[in-house]
Amino acid sequence: MATITIEILDQQKAETFAGIFQHIKLFTDQINLIFEKERLYIQSMDSSRISIFEVFLPATWFDKYEHNIQTGHTIGLNSTILYKILGTRDKGQEIKILFDTETDDKLFIDFTSNNKALYNKEFEMGLIDIDCELMSIPPTESCAEFSIPSANFANIIGQLKIFGDSLDIVCNETLIQLTATSVETGKMAVKIEIDDLNEFSIDEGSELTMSYGLASLHNVCAYSKIASLMEVHLTENFPMKIIYWLGDVGGDAKLVFYLAPKINDD
């Protein structure tokens, strides 16, 4: 019997796992879970083709990760339904997920606990075939990068979204300025002093000027509760890269977004 079994006993990681799927529906309804020998990997693009997201969860992140299928295996599912299932999990319950090649049209999900006040729950979720090729994302060197508390950045982006559809960013060696403007509401500008950031680096003498869609960035910031810090990488005329670390900073467990810049027609 060829199976894949994962278990999450750690309660904080169980909350994180559910949180990953809580907001994926903002980007896509259907996703492929790619179970490799050493990790669970997810990649998808939003319907407007503005943003790409990746989920990296190494086998060591789980309390149990058994992969008895000879090669990597991909299963497709409805992300909204998966989140609805995860939403029924009570705090204190552990997560177990099983895929069996003998019943390869279903995914089995169990929530269990030794607490007699919490009733065990069992789910069978139908799987779907999703024809989607993985995109190759080459590594690039960022001109500027900074680390900022996720909640702070999400709050700023939520406020800027009230004042326009586009976020204009100016980044240099002394500050980062974020601006949104519209005819109806006027203009809002936020200046972030470099000394106020957790970490910051920029190529010497550089000043970056670029624009991004606030609606898409607001969706990315919906994940602000999943990690206390977010890492932002900027390179002019390239996508903004945002990383939420799901473990140690610089480790293998992470949620990564790429947000395409707006093209200036001038």
Does residue 137 lie in a domain region?
no
CB 167 within 8 A of CB 178: yes
Confidence of residue 1 (pLDDT cuts 50, 70, 90): low
Nearest to 163 by CA among 191, 148, 137, 182: 182
Tell me the pLDDT tens digit for each residue of 102-114.
998 999 999 999 9
Do 37 and 99 reside in the same domain of the chain? yes
Tell me the pLDDT tens digit for each residue of 86-137.
999 999 999 999 999 999 899 999 999 999 999 999 999 999 998 878 888 8
Q: Return the CATH number at 106.
A: 3.10.150.10
Do 250 and 200 reside in the same domain of the chain? yes
Does residue 131 lie in a domain region?
no
The range of the structural domain enclosing residue 69 comes to: 3-126
Do 148 and 224 reside in the same domain of the chain? yes
Do 150 and 226 reside in the same domain of the chain? yes
Q: Does 161 score more than 90 pLDDT?
A: yes
